[in-house]
Chain A
Amino acid sequence: MSALLEVRDLSIAIAGAERPLVDHVSFDVAAGETLCIVGESGCGKSLTALALMGLLSDPPLRRIGGTARFRDRDLFTMPPRELRGLRGGEMAMIFQEPMTSLNPALTVGDQIAEAVRTHRACSPAEARDRALEMLRRVRIPAPEKRLEEHPHALSGGMRQRAMIAMALANDPALLIADEPTTALDVTVQAQVLDLMVSLQRESGAGMILITHDLGVVAGLADRVAVMYAGRVVETGPVAAIFDDPQHPYTLGLIRSIPALSGERRRLVTVPGTVPTPATMPEGCRFAPRCPFAGTDCRAAPPLAEIAPGHRVACHRAPIEEKAA
């Protein structure tokens, strides 16, 4: 299966800094597939997404290397005009903050219609019909009424639904969702995620879902890429990541999920904190926090395939089953 999107060695740096914030990140997304990018705040997940959309604020952020082939075109070398044609058309993004991502001066209907009219030649009436249809598809109650309303009149969950409607209005082949539910109430989160996934399944689009919520990953992902301090440390099918995690960081993440059943225990945490860009160690960036680190960890481990589709960047991989 040829990939819809192939990202190779993407590196992003901030002006004046020596070390990149995102360092040689590579991954693939196939049509109809959901790739979850997991990692803690500041690990470069969002920067990766913004770079793919061509939305890095340059300066101070700059892409310093790598390629991204989307349907056999390189996103990073195509002319700005062509990239603008892709954005919101074949490639769409859903942002983290529904409360501030809608223009307060336009009605919800006008904004969705704007997304439609930017990419197709159609009459205002047709764009409006499409907007109404999209509001129905994202299951906003009373869509005819909401079409005429300004964003301030909508709740957070409804605004995120409107954002999803806008992103999907042109049937994108690739959807990038950057923590789409982080800002929402827990009760609304599940609804919005279910909605996104069911719409994605309907359309057969590929999706990159950026999150730090492992529960979401387990429920929705086909494949997972775990990022730590700007690098992909482990990637593979969701079952392999959860059943047979190989990177010590992945292991730590999974062990830190509180269990609802069984013996009550102290929550397991990963010791230490993420190094700042200035204190980033040479070699394996996780080494200072890693219980298995040795002298060989001073050299950066390659992202090596240890099972079909399952790659790990660790000198210790594959690790034997640890005795509990």
Chain B
Amino acid sequence: MTAVDPAAVAPGLDAPDLPPRRSRVWAKLRRNPAAIAGGGIVLFFAAVAVLAPVLPVPGPAEADWSAVRAAPSAAHPLGTDELGRDVLARMVWGAQASLLAGVVSVAIALLLGVPLGVLAGYRRGWIDAVISRFTEALLAAPFLILAIAFAAFLGPSLTNAMIAIGLSAMPLFVRLARGQTMAVMTEDYVESARAIGVGHLATVGRYVLPNIVPPLLVQATLTIATAIIAEASLSFLGLGQQPPAPSWGSMLNVAKNYLEVAPWMALWPGIAIFLVVLGFNLLGDGLRDALDPRDL
């Protein structure tokens, strides 16, 4: 029998040369102005947080007793707070706490939730039942109430607030990872992996995980926004960042006492929280569209 080159027989029927998936996702993301704006906002705040030590602002705890609750001016572009500390400086340093709280708590939620979810979805049976009931028990309490309970139990500090938020966000990722794993397990390529004798660990690592990453990535981006609000809320309640270290939430907490005499103290942290949450949400929505396999 002679070898038949299908491309020679029917050149037009050959699949087109598509660029790799990663660069197509990037190309789609780049064409989405909202996602780019969201990414830009996130990048801006991330840069501010990282560059805080070298930016030309005073230290976050440096007090200028000659300017207490001073309105925005050339010396203090965003004004000063009740102890004469520069609000711009505290905003810049507070960005660290807020972004760190968002990223670290979601990382905790992912690290705990995804393995549990994949285990439940892969093994099914009683393991799934135990993990699912546990998850549902956690989901029965509202997210913020749960975070407050954990934070109060662990004691007030930024680290504990991040752990509390991560634990509260975990059930979401357990559920998502479990559902996605169950969906992937019915795919033909998992069966064909079994047919070539691939073991359980390799099946999970190379067939299940890579195919459930896109929805997890989207959920993680959106949850960072929720986690930032949660950190602000916890700090507002005194359960997060402790004075004198700044965070946007704790700044709001203090500012509420001076709303009538120094409204700028509340304005800037409020705007910053709003913007960074908006940025993560836009980015998450954009990622969801870009990663949608239906038109990849």
Distance (whole angstroms) from the CB of A158 to the closest CB of chain B: 7
17 CB-based A-B contacts, threshold 8 Å: A55-B191, A85-B197, A87-B194, A95-B192, A101-B192, A103-B189, A103-B193, A104-B189, A105-B206, A105-B207, A118-B198, A139-B5, A141-B6, A152-B18, A155-B15, A166-B196, A194-B4
B56 on interface, CB distance cutoff 8 Å = no
Q: Are A88 and B189 interface neighbours, CB within 8 A?
A: no
> In the docked arrangement, what's the CA distance between A43 and B117, Å?
37
Q: Are A53 and B211 interface neighbours, CB within 8 A?
A: no
B7 on interface, CB distance cutoff 8 Å = yes
> In the docked arrangement, what's the CA distance between A118 and B211, Å?
20
Closest chain B residue to A89 by CB distance?
A: B197
How many B residues are at the interface, by size bracket?
A: 35 or more
Q: Would you give the 0/1 interface string for A6-20, flagging 1 where the beta carbon is closer than 8 Å to chain B?
A: 000000000000000
Q: Are B15 and A187 interface neighbours, CB within 8 A?
A: no
Indicate which residue in A84, A89, A114, A188 contacts B206 across the interface (CB closer than 8 Å): A114
How many A residues are at the interface, by size bracket?
A: 35 or more
B14 on interface, CB distance cutoff 8 Å = yes
B13 on interface, CB distance cutoff 8 Å = yes
Q: Are A141 and B195 interface neighbours, CB within 8 A?
A: no
Given known pairs A141-B6, A191-B6, the reply for A198 and B195 (CB within 8 Å) is no
Closest chain A residue to B189 by CB distance?
A: A103
Q: Are A141 and B197 interface neighbours, CB within 8 A?
A: no
A119 on interface, CB distance cutoff 8 Å = yes
> In the docked arrangement, what's the CA distance between A119 and B199, Å?
11
> In the docked arrangement, what's the CA distance between A188 and B4, Å?
10
Distance (whole angstroms) from the CB of A294 to the closest CB of chain B: 44
> In the docked arrangement, what's the CA distance between A268 and B143, Å?
67
Q: Are B197 and A194 interface neighbours, CB within 8 A?
A: no
B21 on interface, CB distance cutoff 8 Å = yes
**8 nearest interchain CB pairs?**
A88-B196, A105-B210, A88-B197, A87-B197, A100-B188, A155-B15, A101-B188, A115-B196
Distance (whole angstroms) from the CB of B7 to the closest CB of chain A: 5
Given known pairs A103-B211, A118-B199, the reply for A97 and B188 (CB within 8 Å) is yes
Q: Which one of B8, B192, B211, B296 has the highest number of Cβ atoms from chain A below 10 Å of its Cβ? A: B192
List chain B residues, Cβ under 8 A from A87.
194-197
B75 on interface, CB distance cutoff 8 Å = no
Q: Are B188 and A191 interface neighbours, CB within 8 A?
A: no
A257 on interface, CB distance cutoff 8 Å = no
Indicate which residue in A85, A187, A194 contacts B9 across the interface (CB closer than 8 Å): A187
Residues B3-36 near A (CB distance < 8 A) = 3-10, 13-18, 20-21
Given known pairs A53-B195, A118-B197, A118-B199, the reply for A152 and B189 (CB within 8 Å) is no
B51 on interface, CB distance cutoff 8 Å = no
Q: Are B198 and A101 interface neighbours, CB within 8 A?
A: no
B1 on interface, CB distance cutoff 8 Å = yes
A86 on interface, CB distance cutoff 8 Å = yes
Q: Are A102 and B199 interface neighbours, CB within 8 A?
A: no
Knowing that A114-B193, A153-B16 are A-B contacts, what are 13 other residue pairs whose CB atoms are under 8 Å apart, sorted by A's residue number?
A84-B197, A88-B196, A97-B188, A103-B211, A104-B21, A104-B293, A118-B198, A141-B6, A152-B18, A155-B14, A155-B15, A188-B6, A194-B1
> In the docked arrangement, what's the CA distance between A139 and B210, Å?
29
Closest chain B residue to A163 by CB distance?
A: B192
B187 on interface, CB distance cutoff 8 Å = yes
Residues B58-114 near A (CB distance < 8 A) = none
A157 on interface, CB distance cutoff 8 Å = yes
Distance (whole angstroms) from the CB of B52 to the closest CB of chain A: 38
Given known pairs A103-B211, A105-B211, the reply for A93 and B195 (CB within 8 Å) is yes
A29 on interface, CB distance cutoff 8 Å = no
List chain A residues, Cβ under 8 A from B189.
100-104
B202 on interface, CB distance cutoff 8 Å = yes
Indicate which residue in B195, B197, B202 contacts A95 across the interface (CB closer than 8 Å): B195
> In the docked arrangement, what's the CA distance between A141 and B13, Å?
13
A316 on interface, CB distance cutoff 8 Å = no
> In the docked arrangement, what's the CA distance between A191 and B2, Å?
10
A92 on interface, CB distance cutoff 8 Å = yes
> In the docked arrangement, what's the CA distance between A105 and B3, Å?
30
> In the docked arrangement, what's the CA distance between A84 and B195, Å?
8
List chain B residues, Cβ under 8 A from A289.
none
> In the docked arrangement, what's the CA distance between A191 and B193, Å?
25
